[in-house]
């Protein structure tokens, strides 16, 4: 099996633009007691999550950093609502994508390097091809045009890692308290074959969540069906 990185197609004729954020999110961590870092990132998202039953919903509406004890408390409140295999991190995004959209959209849309949207009809075609693990979640995007498309956000489980051979030799281990790794993504990525899933055709890396990975099955189906809007960059593995 060959793998590819999914990226925005900057040469595309499509002019669609999305501006938004997810409805809820976990706070970042302020001054971790072990590594002293203040950090958080929304590059890991679970758009299928519905937190509306949570009584203290306001705790998840404002982006901010909190002491690690408060972050861990809030993690436990959302854990029952997460999809199978979900992994939380400080700043993780939850719930539907909310915002504005305008322009001409292709079948596939990458509003950022770590998010992937798909038009409803295109998702149905991909699922009919037997591709595995494609969960399209409704968005709450407001369009400034008539005949607006129905854009769904694909939920991308974090699984798979980069091979140690492409990472710095003098790298520090993750913080034992908050899990922060503090590594910059290498330009020349090498996938760790032993960590890649056998049951998914689309996912994001666990250790570098800005990287969306797909199988050659996904690439072949998109090309055969004429589903444009993204590019596919081959990723070697070891």
Profile the chain (238 residues) by mean pLDDT over runs of 10 residues. 94 90 98 97 97 96 97 98 96 98 95 96 97 97 88 97 96 95 95 97 97 98 97 97
Global confidence as pTM: 0.95
For residues 184 and 172, give the distance between their C-alpha atoms in angstroms, rounded to a whole number: 12
Note the pLDDT of residue 146. Answer: 81
Residues 6+ positions from 10 with CB-CB distance below 8 Å = none
Confidence at residue 145, expressed as pLDDT on a 0 to 100 scale = 80
Closest CA to 67 of 32, 95, 108: 32
pLDDT value of residue 11? 81
Which residues have CB under 8 Å from 194's CB, separation 6+? none
């Amino acid at each position: 099996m060959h793998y590819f990185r999914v990226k925005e197609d900057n040469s595309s004729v499509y002019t669609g633009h999305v501006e938004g954020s997810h409805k809820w999110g976990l706070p970042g961590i302020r001054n971790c007691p072990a590594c002293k870092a203040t950090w958080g990132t929304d590059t890991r998202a679970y758009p299928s999550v519905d937190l509306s039953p949570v009584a203290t919903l306001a705790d998840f509406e404002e982006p901010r950093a909190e002491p690690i004890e408060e972050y861990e408390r809030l993690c436990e409140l959302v854990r029952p609502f997460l999809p199978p295999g979900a992994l939380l991190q400080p700043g993780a995004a939850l719930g539907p994508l909310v915002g504005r959209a305008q322009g001409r959209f292709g079948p596939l849309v990458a509003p950022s390097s770590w998010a992937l949207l798909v038009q409803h009809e295109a998702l149905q075609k991909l699922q009919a091809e037997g591709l595995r693990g494609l969960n399209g979640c409704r968005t709450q995007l407001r369009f400034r045009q008539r005949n607006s498309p129905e854009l769904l956000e694909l939920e991308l489980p974090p699984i798979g890692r980069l091979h140690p051979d492409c990472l710095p030799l003098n790298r520090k281990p993750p913080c034992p308290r908050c899990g922060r790794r503090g590594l910059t993504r290498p330009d020349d990525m090498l996938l760790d074959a032993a960590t890649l899933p056998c049951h998914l055709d689309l996912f994001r890396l666990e250790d570098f969540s800005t990287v969306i990975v797909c199988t050659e099955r996904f690439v072949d189906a998109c090309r055969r069906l004429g589903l444009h809007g993204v590019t596919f960059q081959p990723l070697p593995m070891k």
